[in-house]
Amino acid sequence: MKRRKFITLLGGAAAWPCHPPNAAIDPVVAAEARPPPVSQPRRKSFGRACSAKERVSTEEGNVMSNKLALLAGIAIGAVLTAGVAQLQAQAPAPATTRNAVFMITEQTITDPKGYAEEYAPKVIPIIKAHGGRYVARTDQVTNLAGDAGPKRIVIIGFESIDEIKKMQSTKEYTDLQPIRDRVYKVRQYAIATCENPQGAKPGQTKCP
């Protein structure tokens, strides 16, 4: 009995024209009718090589970017450091440097209310207006040797003894002397201070 060829329909289904749909199919005929496998040509793989080249290029770019960022950071830091140094060199001497002269006033207050209300509020602006800077103003005096010290002490810094004399010769200051003598007993004197590490001021003394 001759083998009959089959016709391949769309969708991959096979139909046998002389057999009903449920008829058995000769396996030999089916094997012979099956189309031989088509061998696909081997494709050359360039993906891996290209990816490796791209990775190398990307890594080199990242290294170069990091170097440029580092150099830029160093340059900016150097500019900022130079700018700060220049500003410090041009800045005036800080106000914390020691004054050339200290005016020391030993006080024994006899009228606390009169001192607080009549004298202190008026004399403090006069002192500051003439360059005076308060260094100490306290009644916390600790005796360390000899006779007992004053009850209260005030130390004010000036840049020269002439500034003190000029202040004390003003009318607003001399007008307060009667009030001062009424509210506290006073002992007052001026001393020259040791020279500053930044450089000696006129009137300062050289200290060991």
Segment 15-63, tens digit of pLDDT: 444 444 454 555 555 555 555 665 555 655 544 555 666 665 666 667 7
Q: Please, are residues 29 and 3 in contact by the beta-carbon 8 Å criterion? A: yes
Question: What tens digit of pLDDT does each residue of 173-201 get?
Answer: 999 999 999 999 999 999 999 887 777 77
Per DSSP, the three-state class of 146 is: coil
Q: Which of 26-40, 73-87, 93-107 has the lowest mean pLDDT?
A: 26-40
CA-to-CA separations, 62 to 58, 59, 73, in angstroms, rounded: 6, 5, 16
Look at residue 6 and tell me whether its pLDDT is greater than 50.
no
Alpha-carbon distances of 22 from 18, 25, 79, 87, 175, rounded to whole Å: 12, 9, 94, 103, 136
Cβ atoms of 136 and 144 closer than 8 Å: no
> In the block, which residue shows the tokens 């260094």?
135
**If you average pLDDT over each of 6-10, 74-78, 150-154, which comes out highest?**
150-154
Can you tell me which residue has the tokens 């749909």? 21
Judge whether residue 115 has pLDDT over 50: yes
Domains and CATH numbers, the chain: 101-141+150-192 (3.30.70.100)
